[in-house]
């Protein structure tokens, strides 16, 4: 057992209000610079919708992530040979139109325009050319319009839905959408790391944060196309790739990442997960529909004496193990099984997990009135967001996996409703308790609704000065496209 510790996250989508405070915090902290205008290391998109950059989930277009026939694992964009051929021209990059042309407004005109009959206006101007533009796209262009035909119809995750399901989704009176905050997943099997010809991207051994060494980066941009989540960006001003750094300077000085600190909906949880690095390759080759469960199986129980002993042998310190035992992420993902990775079929083993949105499936509308008392497990079949769509997003298309999560979430909601309002039938309460027992339902409710920042975010103190720097990668397949990719070992904290 090769135990690693990773700082990982859960985003509770029922709590996200789509305020974009997280995105703005990140922009002010890290990407308010020349060449980074169009970058949103953290963005929030409306789903169903095409997202940012548009159609990022369509891997036919950008060849991101890994592919596997069950026996081998290789980057969708190709191995070392192809990467060499494309080194001076990468054909799989998103274009500026896929992102948007960043713009600002001529605010000065509001103050300095000569006196006239009309109100002065601030015209939009391109932040790249400085010339006036007519904006046609933006990082959240389809905000709150995700359910509308115009945008939602092009969502790649609608693949496989019947015409009837699509009609149900787009019918104006039933239109439903939710917000999906996204940042780099700091994946276990990061495609960006494996694709880099310069070995500039690496995963820190001590906490799993994936970083771009700016001195080594040569701007080949293989990472931009290889990341299936499109969370590496090219800075056209300095000629280097950049990405979310999980606010490591803040984390190392005892602060939490900016987007977590500022999250208005308190949807973000952060904590240590332990996993067995020896299983990365075999897990990443598993059929798509089994990947979400297989990734959950890789996560180790931090209270298991065998795991503790193996973790100590791997150099993981006691205070990291202590933090792992108090990890809210472990509870959501492993104990309660209500958080799933986004698009596990990309095979990067992402380390942000999502509690899928419950809201659209619970209330039953009768004569135009939402009747919560009528809500029960049967409401799952009448979900306004088709389960197949949610399965495409969070379970590699496995509807049984997503149904199991929803049954647990509904069981918690029914028990809380019974406790606080008292209008749930006794038979439904009993059925709910068989799904999730009363103690666990209370714990899930507490963690979802009542916790303080200290319980939502549990990080061990970092002593960066004690860390061991990168050594040769132990997973030879990581070098399939890069040349001598490195991964730091688990560090003695
Ligand atoms: S989300 Fe993309 S950029 Fe982040 S670690 Fe995974 S593959 Fe790399
Ligand atoms: S700050 Fe929190 S609630 Fe607001 S959009 Fe971001 S993740 Fe959602």
- Exposure b/e, 242-280, CB count within 10 A at least 16 = b: bbbbbbbebbeeeebbbbbebbebbbbbbbbbbbbbebb
CA 208 to centroid of ligand 1, rounded, Å: 11
Query: Residue 432 above 60 pLDDT?
Result: yes
C-alpha dihedral (31, 140, 162, 176), degrees to nearest 10? 120
How many helices (H) does the chain have, and how many strands (E)? 22, 19
Distance (Å, whole) CA 401 – CA 399: 5
Burial category of 296 from C-beta neighbours within 10 Å (exposed 0-12, middle 13-18, buried 19 and up)? middle
Under 8 Å between Cβ of 178 and 152 = no
Under 8 Å between Cβ of 205 and 490 = yes
Query: Residue 124 above 70 pLDDT?
Result: yes
pLDDT tens column, 83-95: 666 666 777 899 8
Q: What is the enclosing helix (H) or strand (E) of 486?
A: strand 486-487
Per-residue confidence band for 384, with pLDDT thresholds at 50, 70 and 90:
confident
Under 8 Å between Cβ of 271 and 260 = no
Q: Which two tokens stand for residue 80?
A: 């070392």
CA 200 to centroid of ligand 2, rounded, Å: 31
3-state secondary structure labels for all residues of 140-208: CCCCCCCCCHHHHCCCHHHCCCCHHHHHHHHCHHHCCCEEEEECCCCCCCCHHHHHCCCCCEEECCCCC
CA 404 to centroid of ligand 2, rounded, Å: 26
Residues paired with residue 8 on neighbouring β-strands, in sequence order = 271
Distance (Å, whole) CA 454 – CA 444: 16
Q: Given the structure tokens 């996204």, which residue do they identify?
A: 182
Q: Which two tokens stand for residue 209?
A: 């944060």
Helix (H, G, I), strand (E, B) or coil at 126: strand
- Ligand 2 lined by 44 (C-beta under 6 Å): yes
Under 8 Å between Cβ of 264 and 21 = yes
Distance (Å, whole) CA 490 – CA 207: 8
pLDDT tens column, 250-299: 998 888 999 999 999 999 999 999 999 999 999 999 999 999 999 999 99
Higher pLDDT, 382 or 419: 419
Helix axes 305-313, 318-325, angle to 10 degrees: 140
Higher pLDDT, 335 or 317: 335
- Ligand 1 lined by 185 (C-beta under 6 Å): yes
CA 260 to centroid of ligand 2, rounded, Å: 9
Residues paired with residue 178 on neighbouring β-strands, in sequence order = 47
Q: Supply the residue whose CA is at minimum distance from atom 6 of ligand 2.
A: 22
User: What domains are there in the chain, each with its CATH number?
Assistant: 265-456 (3.30.70)
Residue 259 CA: nearest ligand 2 atom is 1
pTM summary value: 0.90
Highest-confidence segment of 73-77, 205-209, 253-257, 285-289: 285-289
What residues contact residue 252 under an 8 Å CB cut-off, 6+ apart?
Answer: 462, 464
Query: Residue 43 above 50 pLDDT?
Result: yes
State phi, psi for 350 to the nearest 5 degrees: -65, 145
Query: Residue 361 above 70 pLDDT?
Result: no
Residues in the chain: 493
- Ligand 1 lined by 243 (C-beta under 6 Å): yes
Span of 141-155, 292-306, 359-373, 409-423 with lowest mean pLDDT? 359-373
pLDDT tens column, 7-37: 999 999 999 999 999 999 999 999 999 999 9
Q: Which two tokens stand for residue 288?
A: 């798509």
- Exposure b/e, 198-210, CB count within 10 A at least 16 = b: bbbbbbbbbbbbb
């Amino acid at each position: 057992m090769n135990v690693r510790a990773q700082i990982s996250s859960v985003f509770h989508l029922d709590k996200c209000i789509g305020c974009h405070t997280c995105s703005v915090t990140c922009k002010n902290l890290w990407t308010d610079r020349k060449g980074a205008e169009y970058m949103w290391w953290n963005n929030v998109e409306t789903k169903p919708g095409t997202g940012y950059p548009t159609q990022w989930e369509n891997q036919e277009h950008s060849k991101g992530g890994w592919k596997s026939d069950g026996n081998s694992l290789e980057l969708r964009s190709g191995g070392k040979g192809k990467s060499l051929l494309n080194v001076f021209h990468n054909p799989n990059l998103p274009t500026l139109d896929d992102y948007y042309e960043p713009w600002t407004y001529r605010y000065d005109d509001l103050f300095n325009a000569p006196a006239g009959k009309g109100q002065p206006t601030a015209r939009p101007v391109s932040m790249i050319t400085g010339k006036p533009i007519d904006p046609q796209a933006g990082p959240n262009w389809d905000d709150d319009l995700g359910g509308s035909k115009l945008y939602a119809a092009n969502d790649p995750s609608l693949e496989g839905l019947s015409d009837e399901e699509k009609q149900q989704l787009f019918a104006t009176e039933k239109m439903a959408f939710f917000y999906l905050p996204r940042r780099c997943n700091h994946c276990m099997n990061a495609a960006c790391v494996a694709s880099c010809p310069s070995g500039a991207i690496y995963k820190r051994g001590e906490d799993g944060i994936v970083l771009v060494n700016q001195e080594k980066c040569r701007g080949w941009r293989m990472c931009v196309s290889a990341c299936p989540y499109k969370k590496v960006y090219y800075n056209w001003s300095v000629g280097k790739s950049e990405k979310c750094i999980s606010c490591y300077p803040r984390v190392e000085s005892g602060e939490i990442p900016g987007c977590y600190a500022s999250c208005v909906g308190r949807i973000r949880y952060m904590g240590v997960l332990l996993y067995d690095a020896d299983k990365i390759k075999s897990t990443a080759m598993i059929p798509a529909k089994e990947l979400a469960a297989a990734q959950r199986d890789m996560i180790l129980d931090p209270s298991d004496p065998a795991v503790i002993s193996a973790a100590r042998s791997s150099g993981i310190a006691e205070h990291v193990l202590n933090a792992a035992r108090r990890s809210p992420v472990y509870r959501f993902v492993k104990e309660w099984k209500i958080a799933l990775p986004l698009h596990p079929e990309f095979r990067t083993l992402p380390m942000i997990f999502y509690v899928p949105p419950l809201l659209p499936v619970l209330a039953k509308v009768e004569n135009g009135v939402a009747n919560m008392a009528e809500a029960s497990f049967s409401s799952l079949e009448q979900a306004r967001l088709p389960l197949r769509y949610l399965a495409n997003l969070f379970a590699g298309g496995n509807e049984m996996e997503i149904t199991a999560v929803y049954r647990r979430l509904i069981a918690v909601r029914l028990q809380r409703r019974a406790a606080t309002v008292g209008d749930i039938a006794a038979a439904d309460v009993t059925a709910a308790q068989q799904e999730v027992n009363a103690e666990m339902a209370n714990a899930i409710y507490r963690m979802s609704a009542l916790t303080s920042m200290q319980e939502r975010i549990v990080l061990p103190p970092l002593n960066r000065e004690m860390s061991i720097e990168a050594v040769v990668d132990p997973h030879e397949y990581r070098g399939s496209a890069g040349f001598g990719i490195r991964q730091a070992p688990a560090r003695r904290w």
